[in-house]
A and B are shown apart, each in its own frame.
Chain A
Amino acid sequence: MSPRRATSGGRIDRLRTIRFTFDGKAFTGHAGDTLASALLANGVTLFGRSFKYHRPRGVLTAGVDEPNALVTVLRGDVREPNVPSTAVEIYDGLVAESQNRFPSLKWDVSAVNQLAGKLISAGFYYKTFMGPAIGPFKGTRFWMLCEHFIRRAAGLGRAGRAADPSRYERMNAFCDVLVVGSGPAGLMAAAAAADKGARVIVAELDARLGGSANWSGETIDGMPAAEWAAGLAEGLKTHPNIRVLPRTTVWGFYDGNMLAALERVTDHKERPAKGEPRHRHWVIRTKKVVLATGAMERPLIFPGNDRPGVMLASAARRYANEFGVLAGSKVALFTNNDNAYHAAVALQKAGAGIAAIIDVRANISDAMRNLASDAGAQIHTGHAVVATEGRTAVTSIKVQRFEATNGGLSGEARTIQADCLLMSGGWSPAIHLASQAGAKARWDNELQAFLPPEPTQSWIGAGAFNGSFSTTEAIAEGHAAGLAAAGAKAAANDDLPVADAVAGDPAPAPVFEIRANGKSFVDFQHDVTSEDVRLAHREGFVSVEHLKRYTTLGMATDQGKTSNIPGLAIMAAALGKPIPEVGTTRFRPPFAPVSIGSLAAERYGDIRPERLTPMHDWHVKNGASFYAAGLWHRPMIYGHAGETIEQAYVREAKATRETAGIVDVSTLGKIAVQGPDAAEFLDRVYTNMFSTLAIGKARYGFMLREDGIAMDDGTTWRLGKNDFLMTTTTANAGKVMQHLEYFLDIIWPDLKVTLTSVTDQWAGAAIGGPKARDILASCVKGTPVDNAALPFMGIVHGKIADVPVMICRLSFSGEMAFEVYSGADYGTHVWQALIDAGKPFGLVPYGLEALGTMRIEKGHVTGAEIDGRTTARDLHLDWMLSSKKPFIGSAMMDRNGLTSSDRLQLVGLLSLDNRPFNGGAHVVEELDEQNPHGSIGHITAACYSPALGRYIALALVKGGKARHGSRAFVSDPLRKRFGPVQIVSHHFYDPEGSRMHG
């Protein structure tokens, strides 16, 4: 039998034994145990080491508020660090490790930090480590040296490098009422709302519904509260209107009554079922929320309050009643309120001996005296604990007479033998979600607690969340909240369950700290002591935010759930102000730490979808390697065995210029612009005229932003009187669509135009080169493709391989070229037909590299030049700016900042040292490799030009055209490429366009 397992009781399954290891040692527990309860049952007291002083620490709580007992859970190589052992359900084969200790939990060398105590008090690092002002350690060096060691000493658990193999999912949910918490208040609320027809979701962060009913030891409707709750929970699970989510933490209250919750679907299992996510990220949009999140007990602040074996009274009660585990065999309790008396009874019933109850209050009620006597406990009223003894577990405590009104200690310190000290410093309602929703909490002096604010969003509170700490109140408030959330009202004669419990006074004595010699911890995990809080006060860090930031109080993984109020109270005492005047911090999401995987959800491993062209599989089969172009995959080259990228694109470009090449242009943005006002609309959005374009013809168009800067370009085809097909660059397709929609909806709503994205409707293949027309002629049926039928910028309709196609003669490569469009589902069919037809002519498929090469040779601009800073004039496209009409950007494009002579303008560069250029290299007038300076511009795109037989580039250079013919230097210190260049026109190749006009 485990040393601390009670012989009976608890809601664990004693017939099922579960095996696990902690720090390599094998243990057993029972189904229903948490790691903390199972280890406690095995007599383990030492769970971890604190952050700064590496002090030994045990378990403080039984839930999500745990600051001390953090572990790393391992599944193979995969590590989950910093998990509170109080929230880990054990399963067969669980492997857990303690953290922040070296070489072992028991013997941790960094515990030496404790000796430095006062030297490393709050904020000490701001006052030192600056290092010398001169010498080799000047500047930031000395600090960075110190930082190296500080970083290694700090941190808690270690994250692994192995990819997380888990699956995560998001779930979008809608309901009428979301009930957060399933204690008596939550259960009642859910049942009441669902019975009125509301769609209800109940979220409970523990595995078991019932909340405090599972451990209160009270009686409801004549049965043990836990059984009553289990019965009610069973009813909810089968209720058609209710979805019950156990193991689900509602962690975020966002705008519009949208709440985020984390469901731990498989963490408690040895392995997930097929397809089952580890975590499910619920996003719940609800009309009403019932907040029944309960309250959390606070510790008391006194010297030695962090020693393993010092625990919250409610946690010990929970371990006893819910898990059948004794926090100690000889238990002392220290309290400022009535709650500890119930805990004493629970522990005594479970088999522990109660050594004493130390109560700071001078007077307590008869009811409490009776409870103490039931528990066999000696009461020390008007006393306080001033020290604890023991190394890795409490062995005894010291108590002294205490005056609650002024905090004075008197008399001799007495020693009481105990192996466990339970403390209760009052309760703080869990108002986090209400605070996140947007309002400020209010202080209740009676309860010594912050209570929920007036709702700013649509929620209703119930039970301990409201500061209504009795089960009777929880039942009534839960019922009323459920009805109200469903739009109904509670009636006086509603038949409510009756709770039977010894009534206690919910109000604690306003005592937070016992000031005696020794370190008294406020924030256990971050090792913030009460002296640290007072130091912050002395140095003027008195607002609550300064207190937090200066001392790191409340910034640990438990987010100050146990430390915020005591810290505030100590500061208030130092300032001589009431607590609410020091303030409370606003709670922000998440309520408790949330796995990053769950938030990435289905996008973990699938960050963005892939966009594939209709011919994608053909490209793959034919040896293409790909680039990402936005979400698209586009062929870069179709490399042959042994070819470098440069060799491949040079071959492809050369073949295109000599015979013919074909490239997939399906990714170009395509927008159907339809309607009686389509031509007028295009006149307004393009810098040039489209109303004059004949049906069956295409025109190159250029667009500016409102501020006169170049936005995008492309050809637009007039397919009918009211029917245009606009093409955009691949990168700007979405942006241009939104731009056009904005103008149509907001600025020109009177225009009758429909805009539709038809990018995916059409497969596009551009075939160009001296043989392109012959190839087309050999495979196109139903239309001639000669100069007369299909002049430059003409459009014809015909068939290829029995498939209807639309062919436009236009050219990006500078060759005679044609874009062949077909329905996307026929894309591969048409492409293959063109490839087959081209075979006798020497047609080659080419990728983006060759496309880029040919466009550089022609001096065509793309995104590298239309970079959001250049104007039409900078790119020598001023001929596109119609003076006959206003268009978007026309009013702003002539501002002097956009027309000044020192702007960067498009030029061509020839390499004079026969070495390649790199995109992003700069251009200078005087070369200085050691100390590069005097940039006059930069290279936007570079290639080896097979047509010119040399390395060339496009560049944006100050002065632009004026420099044609002059020499300069490429200066690329990042890649150590320097050398002479000649600045030339950007039209490197066939400037008259005779090849494409042919």
Chain B
Amino acid sequence: MAERLSPLEPVLRPGSRGQFENGVGVVLSEIAPGSIIQLAAWPGQEKAIIAAIKKVTGLALPDGAGGGVANGQKAAFGFAPAKFIVVDEAESISEALTKAVSPEVGTVTDLSHGRTAIRISGAKAAWVLAKFFAIDFSLVAFPVGAGRSTVHHDIFAQIQRSAPDQFDVYVFRSFARSFWHALCRASEEVGYEVR
């Protein structure tokens, strides 16, 4: 099959920029997972969805609003009541999930092309993201694995904290380039490296 073309392709230029002479504050990269899948449960069917996610991906989602888990190749998190995002390096888990979720339980929606996944990591990652998003990035308020739905003006974002100093930001594909530019600019102050 043809290569997938990221909206960031012409603008993602590896290298260090901004005030990086004394070390980079953040590292920016695109994750480009094979699959980004949304699952939604009907009332009372959340556990069944969580079980289906576990069955297909092996990821055990914790209870609670915005709870999530990330292991490097795969990730999952809640982003709205009874709604979850599952991310996988593999391209076609949507079919497996669709099989695992019957219409009585909920729905599966493939967003693999519709969302662009940008990773920001490093000591200043929370500082840079706080320039855009009005959510509390402290570890206490936003634990590792958890997911958040938020917005920067017109740009809707789902954010998962995949490590203490690492966030994966899912934005609508059509906005990805604009957001990338803004993110780079906001990172200049702390020095950044694009990988």
Answer yes or no: are A and B bound together in one complex.
Answer: yes
Please, which residues of chain A bring their CB within 8 A of the CB of B179?
609
Partner of B154, one of A169, A174, A608, A614: A608
In the complex, which residue of chain A has the Cβ closest to the Cβ of B184? A275
Q: Counting CB contacts under 8 A, is B73 at the interface?
A: no
The answer, yes or no, to whether B165 is at the interface (CB within 8 Å) is no
Contacts A754-B106, A825-B4 given; indicate if A611 touches B133 (C-beta within 8 A): no
Partner of A614, one of B173, B182, B188: B173
* Given A754-B107, A758-B109, A829-B5, A609 contacting B155 (CB threshold 8 A): yes
Q: Does A412 contact B (CB under 8 A)?
A: no
Q: Which range holds the interface residue count of chain A?
A: 35 or more
Question: Which B residues are CB-close (under 8 A) to A829?
Answer: 2-3, 5
User: A823 at interface (Cβ–Cβ under 8 A)?
Assistant: yes
**Of A488-496, A562-570, A669-677, A788-796, which binds chain B?**
A669-677
Give the distance in Å from the alpha carbon of A828 to the alpha carbon of B173 in the complex. 14
A90-98, A337-345, A541-549, A759-767 - the one binding chain B: A759-767
Q: Verify A760–B174 contact, CB threshold 8 A.
A: yes
Across the interface, which residues of A come within 8 angstroms of B103, CB to CB? 675-676, 721-722
Query: Which B residues from 176 to 195 make CB contacts under 8 A with A?
Result: 177-179, 182, 185-191
Contacts of B5 in A (CB 8 A): 614, 825-829
Q: Scan B106-126; emit 1 where CB is below 8 A from any A CB, else 0.
A: 110111111100000000000
> When A676-B103, A756-B111 are in contact, do A632 and B188 touch as well, CB less than 8 Å?
no
Please determine whether B131 and A283 come into contact, CB atoms closer than 8 angstroms: no
Closest B residue by C-beta to A822: B113
Whether B1 and A803, one on each chain, are in contact in the complex, defined by CB atoms closer than 8 angstroms, is: yes
CB pair A826–B19 under 8 Å, yes or no, is no
Question: CB < 8 Å: which of A174, A609, A757, A827 contacts B182?
Answer: A609
Contact indicator B173/A199 (Cβ below 8 Å) = no
A992 close to B (CB within 8 Å) = no
Contacts of B135 in A (CB 8 A): 172
Report yes or no: A802 in contact with B2, Cβ–Cβ below 8 A.
Answer: yes
B70 in the interface (beta carbon within 8 A)? no
> In whole angstroms, what is the CA distance A762 to B178 when docked?
19
A610, B131: Cβ atoms closer than 8 Å: no
Contacts of B190 in A (CB 8 A): 275
Is B136 in contact with A174, judged by CB distance below 8 angstroms? yes
Segment 488-512 of A: residues with Cβ below 8 Å from B: none
A239 beta carbon closer than 8 Å to chain B: no
Contact A674 B107 (CB under 8 A): yes
| A275/B1 in contact, CB under 8 A | no
Of A172, A276, A757, A801, the residue contacting B131 (CB under 8 A) is: A172
The range of chain B's interface size is 35 or more
Contact check: which of B2, B42, B132, B141 meets A174 at CB < 8 Å?
B141
Looking at the assembled complex, report how far the CB atom of B170 sits from the nearest CB atom of chain A, in whole angstroms: 11
- Tell me if B38 is interfacial: C-beta within 8 Å of chain A: yes
Contact for A274 among B19, B42, B133, B186, CB less than 8 A: B19
Check A274–B188 contact: CB distance below 8 A: yes
Q: Contacts of A803 on B, CB cut-off 8 Å?
A: 1-2
> Is there an interface contact between B186 and A169, defined as CB atoms closer than 8 Å?
yes
Contact A759 B114 (CB under 8 A): yes
Summed over the interface, the residue pairs from A and B with CB atoms below 8 Å come to a total of: 139
Cα A760 to Cα B1 in complex, Å, equals: 21
B173:A824 contact, CB within 8 angstroms: yes
Cα-based distance from A310 to B179 in the complex (angstroms): 54
Does chain B have a CB within 8 A of A273?
yes
Question: A574 — which chain B residues lie within 8 A by C-beta?
Answer: none
Contacts of A760 in B (CB 8 A): 113-115, 172-174
Nearest opposing residue in chain B for A258, CB measure:
B134
Task: List B21-72 residues whose CB lies under 8 Å from chain A.
Answer: 38, 40, 42
Q: Which residues of chain A from 719 to 755 have a CB within 8 Å of any chain B CB?
A: 721-722, 752, 754
Determine whether A603 belongs to the interface, using a CB cutoff of 8 Å to chain B.
yes
Q: Which residue of A lies closest to B138 (CB)?
A: A174
Distance between Cα atoms of A823 and B188 in the complex (Å): 33
In the assembled complex, A602 has its CB within 8 A of some CB on chain B: yes
Question: A252-276: which residues lie under 8 A (CB-CB) from chain B?
Answer: 273-276
Interface mask (B62-95 → A, CB under 8 Å = 1, otherwise 0): 0000000000000000000000000000000000
Q: How far is the CA of A170 from the CA of B129 in the complex (A)?
A: 11
Chain B residue with the shortest CB-CB distance to A633? B174
Tell me whether B6 is interfacial, beta carbon within 8 Å. Answer: yes
**Cα(A676)–Cα(B103), bound, Å:** 7
Nearest neighbor of B173 in chain A, beta-carbon distance: A760
For residue B150, give the distance in angstroms from its CB to the closest CB of chain A.
10
In the assembled complex, A617 has its CB within 8 A of some CB on chain B: yes
Chain A residues lying within 8 Å of B133, measured Cβ to Cβ, are 172
Q: Does B130 contact A (CB under 8 A)?
A: yes
Write the A856-895 contact mask toward B (1 if CB under 8 angstroms, else 0): 0000000000000000000000000000000000000000
Given A174-B141, A760-B173, A826-B2, the answer on whether A609 and B154 have CB atoms closer than 8 Å is yes
B109–A672 CB distance below 8 A: yes
Interface centre among A277, A606, A756 (most CB of B within 10 A): A756
> A827 to B38, alpha carbons, bound, how many Å?
21
Task: Check B189 against A276 for contact (C-beta < 8 Å).
Answer: yes
Given contacts A632-B174, A675-B107, contact A172 B7 (CB under 8 A): no
In residues 949-997 of chain A, which contact B (Cβ within 8 Å)? none
**B90–chain A nearest beta-carbon distance, Å:** 15
Q: Which residues does chain A contribute within 8 Å of B109, judged by CB atoms?
A: 672, 674, 754, 756, 758
- What 1/0 flags go to B143-186 for Cβ under 8 Å of A? 00000000001110000000000000000111101110010011
Check A777 for interface membership: any CB of B closer than 8 A: no
A173 within 8 A of B: yes
CA distance A612 to B173 in the complex (A): 8
Assess the A612–B153 pair: CB atoms within 8 A.
no
Q: Which of A275, A802, A827 has the most C-beta atoms of chain B within 10 angstroms of its own C-beta?
A: A275
- Across the interface, which residues of A come within 8 angstroms of B185, CB to CB? 275, 602
Closest to B181 in A: A606
CA distance A568 to B19 in the complex (A): 52
Verify if A120 is at the interface (C-beta below 8 Å from B). Answer: no
Q: Would you list which residues of chain A between 604 and 653 have a CB under 8 Å from chain B?
A: 606, 608-614, 617, 631-632
Instruction: Tell me if A170 and B174 are in contact (CB < 8 A).
Output: no
Which of B5, B38, B138, B188 neighbours the largest number of chain A CB atoms within 10 Å of its CB?
B5
- Asked if A171 lies at the interface with its beta carbon under 8 angstroms from chain B, I say yes
Q: A199 CA to B5 CA in the complex, in Å? A: 44
Given B4, B111, B134, which contacts A758 in the complex, CB threshold below 8 Å? B111
Alpha-carbon distance between A611 and B7 when the two chains are bound, in angstroms = 11
Give Cα A608 to B177, complex, Å. Answer: 13
CB of B189 within 8 A of CB of A275, answer: yes
Whole-angstrom distance between the alpha carbons of A757 and B6 in the complex?
A: 19
A856 and B177 CA atoms in complex are apart in Å by: 34
Interchain CB contact under 8 A, B130 and A171: yes
Q: Which of A675, A825, A828 has the most CB of B within 10 A?
A: A825
Distance, CA A62 to CA B135, complexed state (A): 38
Query: Which of B111, B114, B136, B179 has the most A CB atoms < 10 Å from its CB?
Result: B114
Interface string of A647-683 (1 = CB under 8 A from B): 0000000000000000000000000101110000000
Judging by beta carbons under 8 Å apart, are A609 and B7 in contact?
A: no
A602 to B190, CA, bound (A): 16
Collect the chain B residues with CB atoms within 8 Å of residue A174's CB.
Answer: 136, 138, 141
Tell me the smallest distance from the CB of B26 to a CB of chain A, in Å.
Answer: 12
User: B14 an interface residue at 8 Å Cβ cutoff?
Assistant: no
| Residues B130 and A172 in contact, CB atoms below 8 Å apart | yes
Given contacts A169-B189, A610-B177, 8 further A-B contacts (CB under 8 A): A169-B131, A171-B131, A199-B138, A275-B18, A275-B185, A609-B175, A722-B107, A757-B114
Chain B residues within CB distance 8 Å of chain A: 1-7, 10, 18-19, 38, 40, 42, 103-104, 106-107, 109-115, 130-136, 138, 141, 153-155, 172-175, 177-179, 182, 185-191
User: Can you report 20 A-B residue pairs in the complex whose CB atoms are below 8 A from each other?
Assistant: A171-B130, A172-B130, A172-B133, A174-B138, A274-B188, A606-B182, A609-B154, A609-B175, A613-B174, A617-B10, A675-B103, A756-B111, A757-B114, A760-B114, A760-B115, A760-B172, A761-B113, A823-B4, A824-B113, A826-B113
A-B pairs with lowest CB-CB distance, top 7: A275-B188, A761-B114, A609-B178, A825-B4, A275-B189, A823-B113, A824-B113
